[in-house]
Structure 1
Amino acid sequence: MVIGRADLHTHTTASDGMQQPRENVRMAKEAGLAAVAITDHDTVEGIAEAMEAGEEFGITVVPGVEISTSAGGRDVHILGYYTNWQSDDWRGRLGSLTEVRDNRNLMIIEKLRSLGIPISLDEVLDEARKQGKDRGTIGRPHMASLLVAKGIVDTMQEAFDRYLAAGAAAYVNPPRLNPFEAVEWIRQAGGTSVIAHPGLYGDDDLVEEIIRSGAEGIEVFHSDHGTDDEVRYERLARQYGLIVTGGSDYHGERQGVVFHGTIGSRTVDAGVLKQLNPASR
């Protein structure tokens, strides 16, 4: 049993975070946490480095992933914990999702260009490298950062509001895995599925549908959830007998702004790790 607090949602340079996996672990230790999860988008490439850092800093690292899916015309994310992350089959499946993300990036770039904004994939990749990215996937935050650097917008938030967020001018949502499939994928990979930040979807009927499809947990505590969200989803967790999780969804700091919250700003009791890890049940 791990005693203390756990932040179960953080991102690294393996996807669209700003910090190397080792840095997330170091920051979690400095924040006084007992455990931290690495949950990069559609990849497990940062876990090995984080595990090594966990040994160094004396902190438990939870292997995770955040799978990007689509339902009802909106992005929906499913967290997977304690999957067989070293499995070639699982890595291959996640690789297929990375291809979808890569195609989406090209579609966004083309849409931006059609709006008269001069931007190329090479520029996005260069911007990502400037931020210390040396592996994994490219995401919208890297494009937003480039739009700021080119003077198209003043802030990251403006980049999302005007161009990159759902419903904005350059937003695209190509066909991709649905959340019900993601839940099944995680089960087949030996892990535990958790619905990420349900308060962001504005569709609790969909959230309950995903629960009924087999999701085992729900992220009640998240940097973008208010008190009403926490109360509502904690009640839903009790109703369905779900594992209650929480995390900062830390992506790092850009232009002095931390996305979405600092490591350790949203936590749960580390005892939940026993519930999340199928080997401990």
Structure 2
Amino acid sequence: MYTKGDFHIHSTESDGDLKPGEVVLLAKERRVDIIALTDHNTISGNKQAIKVGKIHGVKVIPGIELSTRFKGQKVHILGYFTDDKYESTEFKLILNNLRARRFKACQIYFKGKLSFKSEAGKIITSAGIEFLHHYNAKVVLAHPTLLNKNIFKEIINLNFDGIEAKYYRNKENETEYFMSIAKKKNIIYTAGSDFHSLNKLDMKHGTLGQIYLESDEISDFIKILNLNGN
């Protein structure tokens, strides 16, 4: 059984300061036994993190943080992959197209079966959720505390599997509020430090393991990932 989990972490593959393997070693040092690597719009660090995690006894869930837009607002969504479909050439191709803003190319590739509607150079949130679901990811709304309250009330009605209820920058009583929303909607909640750097001057993000899920909460999370505690 896992005892401490941080599910929102960045590495040098996006805008973090530590390499994926170094992130895992830091987790080990801080007795965080299950993590997710969620670099911005890339899955390139997952392979190394998983490999190092196996050596050092840290479970690594492959993940991503996808940049989307909702009514002009920046919305980040976290995808947690339940199998290796995300490692396919197809997924990487589509991801590259999204980064390069080639939305029409994505649309043509899928012959209209998936929507790649965009706004301000990013895929819209509902399309981002649909895209990640297509590759067997569970999708969680990242740091809801950073969203406008009215936008949050609308966006939480999209097809999310969960919400990041525990977050470094939550204001007073927000953690309980977001957890209650998850319960009401019968979705899971997660915890993430949004770790980027060991620099103590980085006030925008938490430090690894500072925000976490405990045993019972982790069990609920890994249940929807079909990991069976492994």
Shorter chain as denominator, the TM-score bin is 0.7 to 0.9
The letter of the residue matching 2:96 is G
Structure 2 counterpart of 1:95: 96
Aligned to 1:220: 165
Structure having the larger proportion of residues in strand: 2
Q: Does the 8 A contact of 1:252 with 1:259 survive in 2?
A: no
Distance 1:240 1:228 in 2: 19
Q: Which has the larger radius of gyration?
A: 1
Give the Cα separation in 1 of the matches to 2:137 and 2:227. 9
Structure 2 residue 184 is matched with structure 1 residue 184: no
Structure 1 runs of 4+ with >2 Å offset: 205-213, 253-259, 278-281
Paired letter, 2:183: R
Aligned amino acid, residue 228 of structure 1: N
> Which residue number in structure 1 is paired with residue 210 of structure 2?
265
Instruction: Give per-residue Cα distances to partners, 1:121-167, cap 9 Å, x unaligned.
Output: xxxxxxxxxxxxxxxxxxxxxxxxxxxxxxxxxxxxxxxxxxxxxxx
Q: Does 1:240 align with 2:152?
A: no
2:15 is aligned to: 16
Gaps of 5+ in 2: 103-118
Q: Give the secondary-structure state (helix, strand or coil) at the position aligned to 2:87.
A: coil
Q: Describe the shift of the 1:271–1:279 C-alpha distance in structure 2 as closer, same or farther (beyond 3 A).
A: closer
- Contact 2:4/2:32, CA 8 A, preserved across alignment: yes
> Whole-Å Cα distance in 1 between the matches of residues 205 and 35 of structure 2?
16
1:94, CA displacement in angstroms? Answer: 1.5
* TM-aligned CA deviation for residue 214 of structure 1: 1.1
Q: 1:87 to 1:210 in 2, by over 3 A?
A: farther
Structure 2 residue aligned with 1:50: 49
1:255 Cα deviation after fit: 7.3
Higher helix fraction: Structure 1 or Structure 2? 1
SS at match of 2:39: coil
Q: Report the alpha carbon displacement of residue 247 of structure 1 after superposing the two structures with TM.
A: 0.8
Q: Secondary structure at the match of 1:44?
A: coil
8 Å Cα contact 2:188-2:221 kept in structure 1: no
Query: For 1:179 and 1:258, how far apart are their aligned partners in 2?
Result: 27
**How far does residue 258 in structure 1 lie from its aligned partner after superposition?**
5.8
Query: Cα 1:198–1:75, aligned 2, differ >3 Å: closer, same or farther?
Result: same
Percent identity for Structure 1 against Structure 2: 30
Matched residue, 1:148: none
Asked if the contact 2:163–2:188 (Cα under 8 Å) also holds between the matched residues in 1, the reply is: yes
In the alignment of these two chains, the number of paired residues is 208
Q: Tell me the secondary structure at the aligned position of residue 36 of structure 2.
A: strand
For 1:22, give the aligned amino acid. G
Q: Is the 8 A contact 1:251 1:258 kept in 2?
A: no
Distance in 1 (CA, whole Å) between partners of 2:160 and 2:43 is: 20
Q: Match of 1:14, as an amino acid?
A: E
2:156 and 2:42 mapped to 1: Cα distance?
Answer: 23
**C-alpha contact (below 8 Å) 1:192/1:278 kept by paired residues:** no
Q: Shift in Å at residue 74 of structure 1?
A: 1.5
TM-align CA RMSD: 2.1
Task: Give the alignment of 1:116-135 within 5 angstroms.
Answer: none
Tell me by how many angstroms 1:256 deviates. Answer: 4.1
Given that residues 223 and 248 in structure 1 are in contact (C-alpha distance below 8 angstroms), is that contact kept between their aligned partners in structure 2?
A: yes
Question: Residues 155-174 of structure 1: matches in 2 within 5 Å?
Answer: 174=120
Tell me which amino acid in the other structure corresponds to 2:128.
A
How far apart are 1:12 and its partner, in Å? Answer: 0.4
Matches of 1:185 and 1:69 in 2, distance apart?
A: 11
Residue type at the aligned position of 2:6: D
- Residues of 2 paired with 1:196 and 1:74: CA distance? 13
